[in-house]
Structure 1
């Protein structure tokens, strides 16, 4: 088997079709990763070329006290610069966060035949999808990651269609984080000098998807990536890291082009990571930064993470808010239908912030 994995077809069958995923590759005990996972030198993550982000987490409980303006300014400043920040006292109990990590390990430790039923091509539901890498059909090089993706439509739908090994804890996580999500989005919109009615805010929170990501130990972590360079397409993302770490962001104020320094976002017990998505960068006419990010692999431990992707409704038209354009004097992005933006995003391999080109206006 190890010899045949360097054949593209046999590797695809083993990893994707049979549901073994990259976890199955890792369990073969290979001394070297298959060629399909070896990144070109410029895409490899060198820890020595980055530094630890030392920004303290933002305490959301202070939004209810005398320091609420200060906390709001901290959120806005982080969204304008890094596009990432960590929050504590966010309303999700530590015990639930630990249960989420345990549930991710439980699901991915199931036999392949129990997981393969959730593959997109055979899944009984459109709201549950087992995947590996990002787009293995389109990528030249694969990412060292497996995931299960769960789209929320209703409680009944989730309890019927999500895997029974994790559905209840994921649903509770989604519900307990929803107030925090709304508060953060409302703060960021209001600080643009814009007032949106409740229905518009709801449309920006419209579609919520929870992923459980699984990164098994890798024999050549220096040659691979867990997730390649990209920005998220939605409004914001809420991410639970485990204690192992490996998340990197690109430090640039507006990093559509050019080089920038990579910062590692260290895991903080009990904290959640928030990052700005492309939709919010477009709405803010570029004031907020959907930071480019990626993850590395390790040779010794299995890492899990649990993001919630907050994405506008598919039918929503996303463009720079008129009040912001009036202040700026020009629109940097055109209006796009969210479904079209998502189709473009998932139709291409990860390539930094190139997905934003779909909405960008290039003035001659």
Structure 2
């Protein structure tokens, strides 16, 4: 049921905050309230907006002709060409899509349905999982990224779930979505391990013992992201420029699209329009988007790169996405692997406590790739 609240572009920010954050309606509530003009705290600075071409069906199109992230067929994991494609994509792009990965389509569709089920709950039920009300730090419902630190808010609601064990998740995660999400996480386990084995082999880390496995994938977080229809999508963003702090991120996006990845161009190819440096990641049914996170950039000493990405707001469709962030444990100390430095290569990053790195990321608004400076020597 749509909330009844008269919010306009001139409504006092405190009233918008009360409605969106404290009462738990989120931007979904704003979208459904009949809002015609964006409240001013969602209007992004000009340099942060994403200019896109929108097709007749409302789906976002790429702004750069002839550029697209690699699509890798995973049907033959043992083929050296497959391994080479994964490593080259991680080195050059930091992003790639995988198809024929072995996760059943019905499991993926179950996650999409579960995400919609959660966000269709009444605001008071969702708000039980907000920072102020949640019984656990492992379960968090919220909006934007870090509202208290942001000069302009992002047009997104989310449910963030830190995975400790199936038992804890069964007790704490919201019942409309927990079973489908746990099944999905179980099915992605093999894919994650295979990807990491391939990437580590290129770094001469040939054996993933318990300690290495813990360092690479000792903790996981799954987010359900909801981007409702926006009255002025050209004035705001769904998610601002950032790179992930993970080892790897496994992203499921629906058919709407809206994810953009920053690409590095040759100097002579660069144009004045900053948006020409962004490539749309087109949705493909059943595919998963993989991206390198800051933790793996640090551990590979920059060989694999985490890349800036952002999400546009959409004026025609609601959109969902579901990332799994595969991370070191909070207590892990991360730094370049000795195997990477064995030939005398100079370390670019110092040793940092992973939980300190993550806290630094969440203390501030999205700011592109600046978080990784925290670990630079």
TM-score of the superposition, structure 2-length normalised? 0.91
Alpha-carbon distance between aligned partners in 1 of 2:319 and 2:94, rounded to the nearest angstrom: 23
- Structure 2 residue matching 1:106: 3-state secondary structure: helix
Alpha-carbon distance between aligned partners in 2 of 1:219 and 1:88, rounded to the nearest angstrom: 34
* Aligned counterpart in structure 2 of residue 149 of structure 1, from 143, 153, 160: 160
Alpha-carbon distance between aligned partners in 1 of 2:69 and 2:28, rounded to the nearest angstrom: 33
1:27–1:82 CA distance, 2 compared to 1 (3 A) = same
User: Once the 2 structures are TM-superposed, how far is the Cα of residue 57 of structure 1 from its aligned partner?
Assistant: 2.0
Q: Does the aligned pair in 1 maintain the 2:294–2:372 contact within 8 Å?
A: yes
Q: Does 1:277 find its partner at 2:289?
A: no
Map of 2:63 onto structure 1: 50
Map of 2:232 onto structure 1: 220
Map of 1:346 onto structure 2: 362
- Alpha-carbon displacement from aligned partner over 1:187-223 (angstroms, at most 9, x marks no partner): 1111012234421113310111111000000011111
User: Once the 2 structures are TM-superposed, how far is the Cα of residue 4 of structure 1 from its aligned partner?
Assistant: 8.3
More moved, 328-337 vs 230-239: 328-337
* Aligned counterpart in structure 2 of residue 24 of structure 1, from 20, 26, 29: 29
1:139–1:131 CA distance, 2 compared to 1 (3 A) = same
Alpha-carbon distance between aligned partners in 2 of 1:233 and 1:196, rounded to the nearest angstrom: 24
- Structure 2 residue matching 1:121: 3-state secondary structure: coil
Q: Does 1:97 find its partner at 2:113?
A: no
Aligned length: 355
1:275–1:336 CA distance, 2 compared to 1 (3 A) = same
Q: Does the aligned pair in 2 maintain the 1:26–1:217 contact within 8 Å?
A: yes
Alpha-carbon distance between aligned partners in 2 of 1:55 and 1:203, rounded to the nearest angstrom: 27
Q: Does 1:61 find its partner at 2:75?
A: yes
User: Once the 2 structures are TM-superposed, how far is the Cα of residue 268 of structure 1 from its aligned partner?
Assistant: 0.8
Alpha-carbon distance between aligned partners in 2 of 1:168 and 1:299, rounded to the nearest angstrom: 32
Q: Does 1:106 find its partner at 2:117?
A: yes
- Structure 2 residue matching 1:148: 3-state secondary structure: strand
User: Once the 2 structures are TM-superposed, how far is the Cα of residue 55 of structure 1 from its aligned partner?
Assistant: 4.4
Q: Does the aligned pair in 2 maintain the 1:50–1:262 contact within 8 Å?
A: yes
- Structure 1 residue matching 2:322: 3-state secondary structure: strand
* Aligned counterpart in structure 2 of residue 12 of structure 1, from 17, 20, 40: 17
- Structure 2 residue matching 1:113: 3-state secondary structure: helix
* Aligned counterpart in structure 1 of residue 332 of structure 2, from 309, 313, 316: 316
Alpha-carbon distance between aligned partners in 1 of 2:265 and 2:204, rounded to the nearest angstrom: 20
Map of 2:7 onto structure 1: 2
* Aligned counterpart in structure 2 of residue 294 of structure 1, from 291, 303, 310: 310
* Aligned counterpart in structure 2 of residue 121 of structure 1, from 132, 144, 147: 132
Q: Does the aligned pair in 2 maintain the 1:144–1:225 contact within 8 Å?
A: yes
CA-atom RMSD in angstroms: 1.8
Alpha-carbon distance between aligned partners in 2 of 1:185 and 1:283, rounded to the nearest angstrom: 12
- Structure 2 residue matching 1:51: 3-state secondary structure: coil
Alpha-carbon distance between aligned partners in 1 of 2:172 and 2:18, rounded to the nearest angstrom: 25
TM-score of the superposition, structure 1-length normalised? 0.94
**Which runs of no fewer than 5 residues in structure 2 stay unpaired?**
1-5, 54-61
- Alpha-carbon displacement from aligned partner over 1:107-160 (angstroms, at most 9, x marks no partner): 111110110000012101221100100001111100000000111111111111
* Aligned counterpart in structure 2 of residue 336 of structure 1, from 328, 341, 352: 352
Q: Does the aligned pair in 2 maintain the 1:253–1:289 contact within 8 Å?
A: no
Alpha-carbon distance between aligned partners in 2 of 1:7 and 1:327, rounded to the nearest angstrom: 60
Alpha-carbon distance between aligned partners in 1 of 2:245 and 2:11, rounded to the nearest angstrom: 33
User: Once the 2 structures are TM-superposed, how far is the Cα of residue 51 of structure 1 from its aligned partner?
Assistant: 2.2
Q: Does the aligned pair in 2 maintain the 1:236–1:276 contact within 8 Å?
A: yes
